[in-house]
Amino acid sequence: MKKIILTLMLLTALVFPSGVFADAYSQGEINYNISIDKKIRPINDSNFYDNISQDQKIFVNDDIVDYRVVVENTGKDILYDLVVTDYYPVVNQIILAPGEIDKTNRQIVWKIDKLEAGESRTFTIRTKVINSSTWNSQTNVVDVKNNNVYDKDTATFYLNGKVIPVTGNTDLVVKSAIVLSLSVIALAMRKVARGY
């Protein structure tokens, strides 16, 4: 009888193992992560910067500006159907873009069908500064998203309109008006003194 019970227990342990859990066979926790990085550079500079301060460069009309956008899958799972949207400032005219340009809403939109874990993609946007007339900071925003992830980044720069340099004394007009007025008064006094 002991042998039968021992045999049944052994068969039960082999057929219905209690030490094995279902999660040991799963692929693990899903890990979706995305990173987007936007940098800016003047066309005559070889380096890209997160932002360009007033001390580095003041942009004026007709300056060419490059933006570099890097989208990286920082998670452990493949990402599908990513949509990247760049919201460009009103002072930028798009010269080169990786996607569809919507001038009404000042957006560039493009898609990334598939991005493997650890993979990154780099995109370039080239613009020209237009309509700058005052000291002003401008921020360019970009974001990336799908149903599972979202990230955004910005790049800020400063601009000023081209100014015609002043080439003389600013009170020249005032002094000229005073001299002209005194001349007219002197002529009038002369006419009165001579009796004309």
Is 27 a domain residue? no
- Report which of 157, 88, 158, 156 is spatially closest to residue 127, judged by C-alpha positions: 88
**Structure confidence at residue 27 (pLDDT):** 57
Structural domain tally of the chain?
1
Is 84 a domain residue? yes
**Structure confidence at residue 50 (pLDDT):** 96
Name the phi and psi angles at 126, rounded to 5: -115, 130
Is 186 a domain residue? no
Instruction: Determine the structural domain holding residue 133 and report its residue range.
Output: 34-159
Is 76 a domain residue? yes
Q: Could you tell me the CATH number of the domain that includes residue 66?
A: 2.60.40.740
What is the DSSP pairing of strand 58-59 with strand 150-159?
parallel
Is 141 a domain residue? yes
Is 56 a domain residue? yes
Angle at 30 between CA 70 and CA 19, to 5 degrees: 150
Mean pLDDT of 164-187: 71
Judging by beta carbons within 10 Å of its beta carbon (0-12, 13-18, 19+), is residue 142 exposed, middle or buried?
buried
Is 149 a domain residue? yes
* Confidence tier at 22 by pLDDT (50, 70, 90): very low
Is 168 a domain residue? no
* Confidence tier at 93 by pLDDT (50, 70, 90): very high
